[in-house]
A and B are shown apart, each in its own frame.
Chain A
Amino acid sequence: MITEENKQGLFFMHSGDASQPYRYTVGTWGSKFLTELRDHKQFYGIRCPKCKKVYVPVRQVCGPCFTEMTELVPVSAEGKIVSYTILRFQFLDPETGERKPIPYGYGIFRLDGADTNFQHFIAVPEDESRLFIGARVRAVFREERRGSLRDILHFELVAD
């Protein structure tokens, strides 16, 4: 704790570098998804037996049907842009404590074979106008993969 005093003589107490680490349970389906991503660069979705919707990321329950899902289905690492933005301001990333270099792209994608969207970074081409809703994209994987969404470096435009 560090005390700060302003010009009016009012005090502020900084929390300093204190942090509270957590250990989050990923669960059975999420662990399978991340294993496939890490070992085979393969995306999986999970299909609802009632409405047949394929969810990415995977989860156990289809919300609208409130039905348990157990059928994993392979989903393409390619798809199209549903929406995107280019971030031009820096905010503190609570996961890393870093400020990401700007500008960087953030996209919402519909992978081929999925019925929900998947979000990730998108590489911003020099000519920014090449990014548009509906454009084809694919995942670019890291060489060293550890079983997290960060095993994907980003998505990039599929050259036409």
Chain B
Amino acid sequence: MRAVALCLCPFEGGMMARRVAIVGSGQTYHSGGRTDVNAQEMITEAVVRALESAELTIDDIDGIVIGNMDHFEGINYVDTWSVPATGGTLKPVIKLTTGGTTGTTLAIGGYHLVASGFFSKLLVIGWEKNSESDTTAAITTAFDPIWDRLVFAGAIGGLAVEAQAYLARYNHKKEDAARVVVRDRKHGANNPYAHMQKEVTIKQVLSSPPLADPLHFLDMCPRTDGACAVIFADEYSAEKICDRPAWILGTSVRHNAAFSTDVNFDGLKTMESAARELFHKTGITDPLEQLDVIEMYLPYSYAGLIWIESLGLCKKGDGPRLVWDGVTDMGGKLPINPSGGPICANPIGATGLIRVAEAALQIQNRAEKRQVPDAKIALATGFGGCFWTDLVLLGAKKP
């Protein structure tokens, strides 16, 4: 029996698990309506920029992974109709999609494919054209038609109840969440790709139109058109392609519930569980001290308080203190969202991948005006579905 078990090793026959790095990425100039390009043309922009950044041609690429959330455009099977636009002609093309976490699923799936040894240079693409439909109505169609959809108050209502429970539990103020928006909008002003590049004040956030108590218009991410492409390479090619690859140190994924009512509002349980696994396997004992930068999928301001507690940056209820103290600002101990994050651009199927691309740019020292000096360890997060979490840890040092 033992001999049989040994033969079941997945890397039997010369295949070995390989270390993987990001060697290049490209984004569109995200906006509220890329009316000048259709989806294919928009995807090509990101692909061309990614290839240019890695100084590769499409002939160097041996596979393509692409994804979005179909219901936003109502056109299914992007893996089919995008083929000329992605450079996928006569190459293996795979589609991955998991709701809001699509972008990080693309990154993690791409990482797995390259780590397996079956692909050496893989092009990973996430995109969305949210201007083409009513985003809230489209999101609602992702939920169960019998038990969720008939009464569900959309993504905004669904997040509002998390925010309301948090404020009540700790007696925090709406200003605390507005401070997160002020930070991300300030950071976004340094990012030429961001949809929102204008700073806002706490007063402006709180006087913006109320959407669903306690949320105001400026607490929410915008509705964005955009695409992002990232090139993953194995350890044999990464260092030949660029001087400073962004190595994948580890990933962790948690999906926990089917119905939006199955989660309890005392922290993001999937984030707590994913962080425990990721930090354990990568030797992170104090994330606030050891991480240099985080690109976080914050679909709304309160996530910037609640979820940093769930990540373990501080104890529960202390999120506002960390944010007000400037710890997460550029120049602080652990800057969050130098790019401005989803509060400044949220093309949903691309958003998680943009977090990974931005984290890689930090490691590669290519983030220009939004660069965190000497960033060596960067975390990217994804959020979606029923309060799911994806985590991707990147580093400058080959693992």
Interface residues, chain A, with chain B CB atoms under 8 Å away: 6, 8, 10, 12, 15, 22, 24, 26, 30, 57, 59, 63, 82-89, 91-95, 106-108, 116-121, 132-133, 148-150
Contacts and interface: CB of A to CB of B under 8 A. Distances in A.
B161 A91 contact: no
A63 B161 contact: no
A148 B150 contact: yes
B136 interface: yes
8 contacts: A30-B147, A57-B261, A63-B258, A87-B153, A87-B156, A94-B140, A119-B151, A133-B168
Given A63-B258, A83-B265, A106-B157, A94 B149 contact: yes
Given A94-B137, A106-B161, A120-B151, A30 B257 contact: no
A92 B134 contact: yes
B212 A89 contact: yes
A116 B161 contact: no
B220 to A, nearest CB: 10
Interface residues of B, number: 43
Contacts of B214: 85
Interface string B111-140: 000000000000000000000001011101
B146 interface: yes
Given A82-B265, A87-B212, A88-B209, 9 more contacts: A12-B35, A83-B165, A83-B168, A85-B212, A88-B211, A95-B149, A108-B261, A116-B259, A149-B147
Contacts of A116: 259, 261-262
Nearest to A6: B35
Contact of B164 (A10, A12, A85, A95): A85
Given A57-B259, A83-B165, A116-B261, A106 B151 contact: yes
A149 B149 CA distance: 10
Nearest to A30: B146
B210 interface: yes
Contacts of A107: 161
Contacts of B36: 8, 10
Contact of A85 (B157, B256, B260, B262): B157
A85 B153 contact: yes
A83 B161 CA distance: 5
Nearest to B169: A133
A86 B260 contact: no
Nearest to B74: A15
Nearest to A25: B146
Interface of B: 35-36, 74, 134, 136-138, 140-141, 145-154, 156-157, 160-162, 164-165, 168, 209-215, 256-262, 264-265
A142 B168 CA distance: 32
Given A26-B146, A82-B165, A116-B262, A94 B138 contact: yes
Contacts of A94: 137-138, 140-141, 149
Contact of B210 (A30, A88, A91, A118): A88
A133 B212 contact: no
A119 B165 contact: no
A119 B152 contact: yes
B162 A87 contact: no
A114 B140 CA distance: 25
A85 B168 CA distance: 12
A115 to B, nearest CB: 10
A57 B211 contact: no
A125 B213 CA distance: 15
Contacts of B149: 94-95
A108 B165 CA distance: 10
A150 B151 CA distance: 8
B212 A88 contact: yes
A118 B153 CA distance: 13
**Which 3 pairs from chain A and chain B are nearest by CB?**
A85-B160, A106-B153, A83-B161
Nearest to A27: B146
A150 B161 contact: no
Contacts of A91: 134, 136-137, 154, 156
A83 B35 contact: no
A87 B265 contact: no
A83 B261 contact: no
Contact of A88 (B162, B164, B213): B213
Contacts of B215: 85
A45 B122 CA distance: 47
Contacts of A89: 156, 209-212
